Every structure is written in structure tokens, then in C-alpha cells.
Structure 1
Amino acid sequence: MAAPTNPRELAHPTRAEIRLEAVLHALSDPQRLRIVREVAEMEGEEIACSRVGLPVSKSTLTHHFRVLRESGVLQQVYRGTAKMNRLRREDLDALFPGLLDGVLRAAEAQAVRCAP
């Protein structure tokens, strides 16, 4: 992952640099999985970090988004002062066919099963 030269440009792994173990690690955290589920609901659109309502501090939320970006799960870009996010579905589906859909289905089934 090459370091960006512009401070408003964020480093992302290329498709070839995305590793299964990094993606699985990123998706293994319940808060990050919740972020991915929310971003996936807006498929094709970008979602601001601030729009994800997790009960965590801003620094923890920033950490979760960084892990997702550095693993190759999310693409982040600045739009004004906001960081906007979208799933790297095309890359993930090409590298790991069915993984993202399977994880999202399983997470939804678990949410339904564990709902109060």
C-alpha cells in the first residue's frame, strides 16, 4: 500500500494487496461488522462516517473505519470535511466470490435471532 502524497488522500490496498486474513479480521469485530452492514444497505452510494451511529467514542469509530479501509473492505474519500465510505464489493467479489454476501446474510440472520 503506497503512502499518498496528498494529506487529503487516504491509503488503500490495491486489489492485488487485499488479503483474506485481513478482511476476515476486519469483519470479525461486531462494531465493524455493523458498519459494513450499514454501508452495504446504501449499496452504490457513499455514506459518511458520522452517519453510522455506533455507541463508541469518535476515536474508536475512526479506528474501526481505518481497519476496514486498510483491509480493503471499504473505500474512503474526502468530500469537503467528511470522509465518505463505500464497500469495495467489486474487488471483494472478484477475490473472494460469495464471501461478502455470505457474511452479510449470516450477520442479518444473527441479528434477527438475537433480537430482544
Structure 2
Amino acid sequence: MQRPLLHPASDDLKLESVLYALADPMRLEIVRRLVAGDCPLNCSTAAPAHLPKSTQSHHFQILREAGLIQSERRGTEVVNKVRLDEINARFPGVIEAILKAAKPFVCPDAGKAG
């Protein structure tokens, strides 16, 4: 039996948890990709390609526990979407300001030939 995916209620979102979750460049990139997408994305699509699955899971867990994303199991996949409306209602403009100010993520393997 799989463990349930726990999400904090909108009223329980804490600014310090949101900021902590977005302080990591990988998690910030995941949120950037989810915001840019027009539909929920599975973990492998939303995360940078070079990350091992265990590391992806860890980052998604932190984002979920901070209340930044909503995750749902669909068969063998977990799809994620940003809780942008809820976060903006609680902390107006914070996510947009962070995404606007953040530098784009560059994959460490981007310049290497395979």
C-alpha cells in the first residue's frame, strides 16, 4: 500500500516554508517548469533531467509539504501542479516576484558532449 500524499490546507501555508522550498535552485526550476506548463506534469518531466529519481522525490516532497504543489497519483505516475491561486491568495505576488528575479537554471551537463 502506498503512503498518501499529504498537502497542507491553504490556511496552514507558511511564508517561511514557501521561501525555504524555493531557496534551492532545483526546486525553483521545478516550480518554474510547472508554472510555465499549461497542465499538470509528471515528476520526470517537471524535474531537471540529470536528477536521480530519489532526489526528484525528495524535492517534490519538500515542495508539497510547503504547499507549493498539489500531487496526485495517476496509475504509476505522480502528476504535479502549482497551487498558484492558493499561494497568491495567501501571499500576493510572492511567487511571481521570485520567478521574475531568479536566474534561469543551467544544467551542469549542458555543455558536455555525450
> Which of 38, 48, 55 matches 2:42?
48
Tell me the number of residue pairs that the alignment of Structure 1 and Structure 2 aligns: 105
TM-score under structure 2 normalisation? 0.84
Q: How does 1:1-116 map to 2 (within 5 A)?
A: 7=2, 9-43=4-38, 45-51=39-45, 52-107=47-102, 110-111=103-104
Higher relative contact order (CA 8 A, sep 6+): 2
**Corresponding residue number in structure 1 for 2:108:** none
Query: 5+ unaligned residues in a row in structure 2: which ranges?
Result: 106-110
Cα distance in structure 2, aligned partners of 1:21 and 1:46: 25
TM-score under structure 1 normalisation? 0.83
Q: For residue 58 of structure 1, report the CA deviation from its aligned partner.
A: 1.1
Q: For residue 20 of structure 1, report the CA deviation from its aligned partner.
A: 0.3
The one-letter code of the counterpart of 2:93 is G
Q: For residue 8 of structure 1, report the CA deviation from its aligned partner.
A: 5.8
Q: For residue 53 of structure 1, report the CA deviation from its aligned partner.
A: 2.8
Q: Using the aligned pairs only, state the percent identity.
A: 40
Indicate conservation of the 8 Å contact 1:54/1:61, yes or no: no
Cα distance in structure 1, aligned partners of 2:9 and 2:2: 19
Query: 5+ unaligned residues in a row in structure 1: which ranges?
Result: 1-5
Aligned-pair RMSD on alpha carbons? 1.9
